[in-house]
Each structure stands twice: as C-alpha cells, then as structure tokens.
Amino acid sequence: MNTGRIIPLGVTLKDNKAQITVWAPKAKSVICRTYQPNADIVLVAQAYGYWYAESKEITVGQLYQFVIDGEALPDPVSRSQPEGVHGPSAVIDLRFDWTDQDYRCPLLRDFIIYELHVGTFSPTHDFNGIIERLPYLKNLGITAIEVMPVAQFPGERNWGYDGTFLFAVQHSYGGALGLQRLVDACHREGIAVILDVVYNHFGPEGNYLDKYGPYLTDKYQTPWGKAVNYDDSWSHGVRDFVCENVRMWFQDFHIDALRLDAVHAIKDFSPSHILQDIRRTTDLIIRETGRTHYLIAECDLNDRRFLEPLEQNGFAVDAQWLDEFHHALRVAAGEEKKGYYEEFNGIVHLAKAYEQAYVFTGQYSTHRQKFFGSSTERIPREKFIVFSQNHDQVGNRMLGERSSVLFTPDLQRLMAMAVMVSPFIPLLFMGEEWASQKPFLYFVSHSDPDLIAAVRKGRTEEFSDFHGDGEVSDPQDVKTFNNSVLDWTEKDIADHQRMFHYYQSLIALRKSNTVLRNRRRENLRVSSDTEKDSLILHFEHAKETLICILNFSSSIQRFAIQKDKAWEKVWDTAESRWGAICPTVWTDNFVHIPAQTGIIIQGADLGKQ
C-alpha cells in the first residue's frame, strides 16, 4: 500500500466543506469548475501526482468538471453522472440513515446466491424493482443476491462490464441512493449483497481516464486492448484508485462481498499484487468496522494461489466461481461437446469436480494445448461457487437460451439437485427457479457510431458458424434488451409454479438436512458408473449417511441399497408433485431410478436411530 496519498478521491463533503482530490501526475494545472453558481477552484499540486483543494462553496447536487491543462472533463471518481458518461459530474453526499445496525452477514458457507441484472430483473429496470421482490427472494430461500455491475455505463442498457465511472452508480438504476436503499432493504430481510466489480479493464465509451494519467499501459495486451496499469510507471495512482473503490463499496454502501470479474485478465508483476492490496484494504475495513466482508473471484486459471492466504504469498480471496463444475455438469446433461466443452467427459469429470473442485489439476488440456491447473488439496469446499447456468453461460450463447429451453424439466430438476447437494456454494441465475423461457441476450446502448458498428460486427463474427440456428440479435436494438427482461407472469403458470416449488423445497432441504448442513470435504465419497451414466455421492456425518444418486442416462437404472442402515427417502426429482410422469420405484434393497432423475436417501446405523 502507498503512503503519503490523499484520500478520499474526487469531491467529497465533510464538516460543511468539500475536499477535492485529483490524481493527474503529468498535469501542469488542475481546476475544479462548478456550475450554478459558476466558479473555478484552483487545486494545488501534492506529492505522488495528486492535486488538492478545499471549498465551502460546493453544495450537494451541484454539477462540476475538472479542467486539466485547459480541457474540461468529468471526474474520474465521480459519484454521480446524471447526464451520462459524457456529461458533467454531480456532487452527492453518500451519508445514509442506515437501519442495518443489527444485521450480521451470513457465513459464506451458508450463502444461497441469486445472480441478477438490475435492468432486466424487473419491469421498472431499477433498484426499486428488486426491493419490491425481496420478500419473494426470501420466500424462495435466497440468502445473498449477486448484482451484476452497476458502475455508470453509456446509455441505459448494458450488462455493466462496459462501465467507465467505477465510483458512480448507474443513474437510470436509481443512482447511489437507490443502491443504498436496496442494500439496507436486503439487510432487513437478512439477505447479503454481492456486487460485481470490474478491475481488469475499463469500458471504451466515456472513458476519459487517459486525460488524467497513465491508467493504462501498453506493457501488456488484454482482450480489451491495453492493460490496466498496475505495475508500470505511475501505477501507484491506479492502485489507489482501485483500493479506494473497494473501500467505498464496503463502507459507504455496506456491500457484503465483491465479486471480482475475470481476475485472470489482470496483469501485475508488482511485489504486492493488486489483489493482495485489495485483500489488505478489505481486512483493514473489517477491523475498523467490525463488519464481515468477502472477496469472490472469477478466475479460469485453476491456480490455488488465488485462494491461499497472504502469509503464503497468496491472493487470499474468500471464494471463486467454479466454471469447470458447470462445464462437466452440462456435458453430463447432454450439452454438445464443442468449444470449451469439448474436453469434458461428463460424469467422470463431474465426479472429479465434486471431489477436487478443479477438473484440470495439472494434466494436459487439449483445449488450451498445455498442461493446466493445480491441486486443491486442503482448500475448503466453501471456497468454490457452483451453478448450472449464469449470466455468462446464458448470455454468451447466440440466442441467449436458458437451461429451460435447452433441457427437459427432468434434466433441469436433476441439474438443480446436482448443484444443491454439492459441498460448494450454490448460485442461481434470475428466473431459473421458475424455468423462465425468456432469453438473456447481449445488449448495449452506445452513442458512438463506430463503436456500435464494431460491437455488431464482433457479435456477428463470433457466431459466424451458427447462422443455421437463427439470427444474431442486434446488441444495440432496444428490442434485444426488452426480450431479455424477465416476465414475472410466467411464474403463475402451473408448470412454472411447480418448478418454483421444486427449487424452494430443494433449497429448504439443503438448509435443514443435518448431513447436508455439515458437508465437509473429508465426509464425501464420489463414484461414477459410466455404464449407467450415473453418479453416486456418499456423505457421512456423525452416524448418519446420505446417498445421492444422479442418473443422467436416458433409461431407468437399478441400484442396490445395502441393508446395513435404516434408510428413508428424503428427496426424489421424479415425484408427481414436480410434474414427473415416471416415478422412482424402491423394492426391498433395490431402487429403480427413472431416466434423467435423481434421488437422495438417508440412513442411520441400525439400533441407533
């Protein structure tokens, strides 16, 4: 961490005056220009490329810009952009009358995560639309929502990964106050809030960072062009920028956890990696506030260093998304083996994912054409998050199809069970719980014609081999966005109601069953039967055993059940109440499991019930 820096950054209010801080290491002059009333406030150069001034004339709601060597620009750490990414910044007061003093964040191992996109989750496309449905989410059994990025992006339609103002909450969603209200409302319901943040690149439109300083470096190239400057000249200012952003989300917005997007795309060879600085910043906030905060990484490197503690020179994130579980599960369910699915071997690899989290733990990857991955030995299972679908896996399909369109209800129930009985943290994607038929497509609302053309071209070329399957939706067309908005009337239709009650009951089972609640790595044994295309999971706790049988085959399969315990069935995906038409049959010490279904039985030692 750097010393001698001035924080907080931007224009902030304290003790009836504004503190104004800008990092512009190569500027010769910096002015804060305010409007209505109009004034120019001259900033004074400080150490390490910072500029600073104080003023009692700046008020809440006032528009302003920074003038860097004569050029007027929005604030790179603006907390509000009411006129969009190209307009002036606005002064806001982030103080809020919080009511969550008695709230305690759930343990990470108890998270049941619901990923959602603010714009498409509700018909109002804003934070209020989420608040209105919190009782619904609590009734479903959700303990944490994961909100896709809300940093200000161009226009009103975007996944959020094109954000250009990391400190400003998207104005059309409800801005900073709207997000604070959402977090406070979630905490009243006992629901944690995970916020997706992007530190591996900055969006292209409305990005004025290079006017202030070397936020990017051509030392490395990324899928988005130049890399964020974490280890080149003047990188200390960029690192301060990111760590201050982390502090803001945790302290000013009471966010419980940050999901760090695509950390494998961060290029940093500093002695202290930026993820380690983020960890130290988070730990300091935890000590100062007494609140619990988590860091979750999206990472496709299968590198245990991201999960190892700082003392071992690890990056010390608390958990990571586990894409390989998803890939193995989808192939087991019948996903075509192409692209990144091509090297996954269905139930064999799914069994390994249950046991070791990573499927590739050092062996050769034909997709990557190299030896890949590391061991997860001694890493707790609650450090991995699993799912049968998420925004990436749905939205990066050409037609944005959900599992409900690609798989039968039987397979949907089986995949949900596979996720919920895992020793990992489960995640649902919004609408999954009622088998929503609405697609989730890629959409933007840029204003730069050249950028719009480039996005359209890139999307078309990405799916050039799939034209026989339909047309690529135009990301810029508002219809693409509207087609992606959840239809909440769907869940009242009988088939969708049954799926909702299935998910609700399955979540309740995970929470209430003594063996599932006490799932540990050492208590799980997994076996795969390739002839029956089935998996058998054995969980042990105290004197109880839980056996989960998942039949991914297209025919009924028979399994022997030993008579060494008093067994009872605790879950069956083929029950008629879920809409199944072929029931499971249990006769004497054999169970006949229908195609593409699963069953859970629990047994206690005889004479010790």
Q: Is the pLDDT of residue 467 over 60?
A: no
CATH numeric code, 111-201+243-352+381-508: 3.20.20.80
SS3 labels along 89-111: EECCCCCCCCCCCCCCCCCHHHC
pLDDT at residue 513 in the model: 95
- Give me 438's structure tokens: 């609405």
* Mean of pLDDT values over 339-347: 92
Closest CA to 26 of 259, 219, 215: 215
Closest CA to 9 of 46, 52, 59, 43: 52
Mean pLDDT of the chain: 95
Q: What is the pLDDT of residues 361-376, one digit of tens each?
A: 999 999 999 999 999 9
Query: Does 10-90 match 111-201+243-352+381-508 in CATH topology?
Result: no
Q: What is the pLDDT of residues 142-195, one digit of tens each?
A: 999 999 999 999 999 999 999 999 999 999 999 999 999 999 999 999 999 999
Q: Is the pLDDT of residue 468 over 80?
A: no
Q: What is the pLDDT of residues 186-245, one digit of tens each?
A: 999 999 999 999 999 999 999 999 999 999 999 998 888 899 999 999 999 999 999 999
Phi and psi dihedrals of 56, rounded to 5?
-100, 5
Q: Which residues contact 175 (CB under 8 A, 6 or more apart)?
A: 80, 82, 92, 169
C-alpha span between 43 and 39 (Å, rounded): 13
- Give me 545's structure tokens: 């055993």
DSSP string covering 268-294? --SSS-HHHHHHHHHHHHHHHH----E
Q: Is the pLDDT of residue 6 over 70?
A: no
pLDDT at residue 5 in the model: 61
Q: What percent of the chain shows pLDDT beyond 70? A: 97
Closest CA to 319 of 379, 271, 368, 378: 379
What pTM, to 2 d.p., does this model score?
A: 0.97
- Give me 156's structure tokens: 């009103």
Q: Which helix (H) or strand (E) covers residue 303, if one does?
A: none
- Give me 139's structure tokens: 């009734």
Cβ atoms of residues 438 and 479 within 8 Å: no
**CATH T-level topology, domain 10-90:** Immunoglobulin-like (2.60.40)
Q: What is the pLDDT of residues 71-100, one digit of tens each?
A: 999 999 999 999 999 999 999 999 999 999
Q: Is the pLDDT of residue 443 over 60?
A: yes
* Mean of pLDDT values over 6-21: 90
Residue 16: pLDDT band by 50, 70, 90 thresholds? confident
Residue 608: pLDDT band by 50, 70, 90 thresholds? low
Which three-class secondary structure state does DSSP give residue 497?
helix
* Mean of pLDDT values over 409-428: 97
Which CATH class for the 525-605 domain? mainly beta
- Give me 501's structure tokens: 């009650």
Task: Choose between 607 and 87: higher pLDDT.
Answer: 87
Q: What percent of the chain shows pLDDT beyond 90? A: 89
Closest CA to 241 of 262, 215, 267: 215
DSSP string covering 325-377? HHHHHHHHTT----GGGTT--HHHHHHHHHHHS-S-SSSEETTTTEE-----T
pLDDT at residue 3 in the model: 45
Q: Which residues are catalytic?
A: 261, 298
Give me the residue spans of the domains in the chain. Answer: 10-90, 111-201+243-352+381-508, 525-605
